[in-house]
Amino acid sequence: MSSDLSSLVHWILFLPLGAAALQALLLRRQGAIASWLSVGAAFIGAGLALRILLTSEADVRWHAEIARLGDISLGVGYLVDAHARLMLFVVTFVGALIHLFSVGYMADDDARGRFFAGLSVFMFSILGIVVADNLLMTFVFWELVGFSSYMLIAHYFDRDYAAAASRKAFVVNRVGDLGFILGLAFCLSRFGTLQFEELRALSPAGGWPFALGALLACGFIGKSAQFPLHVWLTDAMAGPTPVSALIHAATMVVAGVYFMARIFFLIDPSLLQIVAVSGAGMAALGGLCALAQTDIKKSLAYSTLAHLGIMACALGLGRPELALLHMAMHAFFKATLFLGAGSVIHGCHHEQDMLRMGGLLRRMPVTAAAFIAASLSNCAVPFLAGWYSKDAIIEAAFRSGRAAEAALLSVAAVATCLYSARMIRLVFLGAPASEEASHAHESPWTMSLPLIVLGLGYSLFGGLLAAAMIPASSLASVAEPLRAMAFHATAPATLVGLAALALGAFALKFYAVEPGRDALRDRLPGLYAALERRWMDGLYRWYVDSVQRRVAELIAFLDLLLVNGLAVRWVAAGVPALLGFLAGRVFHGGQTRAYAAWTAAGVIFIAWILITR
């Protein structure tokens, strides 16, 4: 049974890689064939993942050793436990629908072959992280994910902002990954193994070292765009919209959360405290910043930051299963929101400014319905997908008596309702604010179908389906805060949620001003500017320009002087000059007798060595 399933995992993992290889080698100019090849691989993967999710009771294990260095065994393997089964299904299913959406969205792009090859490489990489049974394999696929993200953000590489954004994403992620690889080295030197199962069985006396969890969490901070390395995510929206949906909302950025849940057992409680506060803070701030963006994708990116903060907070509260549940729910509704945004952008002829949209409800009814359904789910309307996870996390924060986190999460919940209402108001209601918006058209079926399936099906019924699908073992602790909310109308999270919804309804009215105007910017320009300003980017710019560059210039000068000048030039020029001078004076006098004398001395010297040896 187990070996049978591990061969299924092989197929899930290597189908996208095969597709990518075919596209890269043969189908670079055959965009249409390449796109359907990727779609096929993704859908087959989704079917196989669904089969694993539904049929397997036991964990799927498979391991092959690649190298053995002394006592240390390095290898590849699968560990598909309950969390991995859920993640596998979410990634492949959302991924497959986004592949289908991309067929329509990228229809008139010349570089479709490269784009779909990139998507397939990404699927291969992220699935590698999901099934990996050791830290090293996770790290390798972690880097592959970073590479494919870089490649897909830079899809429009001939535009400066896309090239800069991809570079920024890559560099910021390297900062986090430095900590990750140091954590790997630390783990190997201290415990001698990288296998999750063996590490879990260790439970060292005196607890796990704080530094190990902190170093490994650096990777999570970079990849999941946690404060202070969150700056790359909003810029990553320079990539095509399906990429933003798949990588920078639904799957890759939550891989960090998944990884943290996987190594949860070795994280020190004091580190969890920090993660909880920083996550809750980012949830509140990210949600508020989303109010001050006019680009629809950037606004959604701030919303993603907020949700990543909520997941981090759930991890910090010691509830990794809640974080994973929210990861799954968020993947569905945020993918829908991004695909809806993509459909809107496509329909409005590549207009991304929300202030130049409006009145699209009548012109793009399917997109509008899916977008609004996903927004309601995002706002945690009771019994929609987002409610099951987000409000459960808020309830968990209240129940564990963490006032600061609970307050920040409540702010995040309110902010979610506010920016969702603002988006719906600006994009779909009112009158068109531009020529493009008034000539908008509904998208083709390849784009609408994923919207219908994801938006209506999963945003509305996702929670119920998840309850049916998640194996009981991992659901047990999820159920308790849910029951508290569902059956007690006075649970704190329920009250917060209802208050947030009321404020959202008020925001719909607040933003109902003339088309092309933002009510908050008109009434409180100072607050709007403060939210729009990118404080951390400014800080990093100052640091790089004023500190790092100065140090680098000093080091470069010393390098030029000491290494390049003294150690290389001087030695390279000085030694031959000295030897030449000596040789000219001592040996090459031009006197035949001197030559003969030196020759005789040499012979005598060699003879003396040979005799006395």
Partner 1 sequence: MENTALAPHLILAGLLFALGLAGVLVRRNLLVVYMCLELMLAAATLALVAFSRFNRTMDGAVLVFFVITVAAAEVAVGLALIVALYRRRGTVSSERLDVLRP
First to last CA, the chain: 74
Amino acid at the residue 586: V
Shortest Å distance, C-beta 571 to partner 1: 24
CA gyration radius, the chain: 30
Strand-pair category, 60-69 with 72-80: antiparallel
Residue among 524, 554, 600, 607 that touches partner 1 (CB under 8 A) = 600
Residue among 158, 401, 593, 611 that touches partner 1 (CB under 8 A) = 593
Q: Is 365 in the site for partner 1 (CB under 8 A)?
A: no
Q: Is 592 in the site for partner 1 (CB under 8 A)?
A: yes
- For tokens 């606004």, the residue is 299
Shortest Å distance, C-beta 591 to partner 1: 6
Cβ distance to partner 1 smaller for residue 512 or 604: 604
Stretch 530-589 residues interacting with partner 1 (CB under 8 A): 584, 588-589
Q: 209: part of which helix (H) or strand (E)?
A: none
Residue among 26, 54, 597, 606 that touches partner 1 (CB under 8 A) = 597
Measure the CA–CA gap between 280 and 361, rounded to whole angstroms: 34
Cβ distance to partner 1 smaller for residue 490 or 591: 591
Q: Count of residues binding partner 1 (CB under 8 A)?
A: 10
Shortest Å distance, C-beta 560 to partner 1: 35
Cβ distance to partner 1 smaller for residue 593 or 613: 593
| Contact (Cβ atoms closer than 8 angstroms) between residue 267 and residue 213 | yes
Of the candidates 139, 157, 338, the residue with the CA atom closest to the CA atom of residue 233: 338
Shortest Å distance, C-beta 603 to partner 1: 10
Measure the CA–CA gap between 94 and 89, rounded to whole angstroms: 8
Binding window for partner 1 (CB under 8 A); candidates: 131-139, 168-176, 208-216, 595-603: 595-603
Binding window for partner 1 (CB under 8 A); candidates: 211-219, 424-432, 539-547, 591-599: 591-599
Shortest Å distance, C-beta 579 to partner 1: 13
Measure the CA–CA gap between 49 and 43, rounded to whole angstroms: 10
Cβ distance to partner 1 smaller for residue 350 or 593: 593
Cβ distance to partner 1 smaller for residue 506 or 608: 608
Residue 65 φ then ψ, to 5°: -80, 135
Shortest Å distance, C-beta 605 to partner 1: 14
Cβ distance to partner 1 smaller for residue 383 or 581: 581
The burial class, CB within 10 Å (0-12 / 13-18 / 19+), for 279 is: buried
Hey, what are 159's tokens? 């535009």
Q: Is 611 in the site for partner 1 (CB under 8 A)?
A: no
| Contact (Cβ atoms closer than 8 angstroms) between residue 375 and residue 423 | yes
Shortest Å distance, C-beta 70 to partner 1: 58
- For tokens 């952008």, the residue is 345
Shortest Å distance, C-beta 551 to partner 1: 49
Reduced to 3 DSSP states, what percent helix, strand and coil does the chain have, rounded to the nearest 5?
80, 5, 15
Q: What angle do CA 586, 592, 593 make, to 5 degrees?
A: 80
Shortest Å distance, C-beta 573 to partner 1: 19
Cβ distance to partner 1 smaller for residue 535 or 595: 595
Residue among 206, 401, 526, 590 that touches partner 1 (CB under 8 A) = 590
Cβ distance to partner 1 smaller for residue 64 or 611: 611
Shortest Å distance, C-beta 610 to partner 1: 16
Residue among 591, 609, 612, 613 that touches partner 1 (CB under 8 A) = 591
Cβ distance to partner 1 smaller for residue 431 or 604: 604
The phi-psi region of residue 516 (left if phi > 0; otherwise alpha if psi is between -120 and 50; otherwise beta) is: left
Cβ distance to partner 1 smaller for residue 538 or 584: 584
**21-28: long-range contacts (C-beta < 8 A, 24 or more apart)?**
23/113, 23/114, 23/116, 23/117, 23/120, 24/117, 27/113, 27/117, 28/113, 28/114
Measure the CA–CA gap between 176 and 228, rounded to whole angstroms: 10
- Residues near partner 1 (CB under 8 A) are 584, 588-593, 596-597, 600
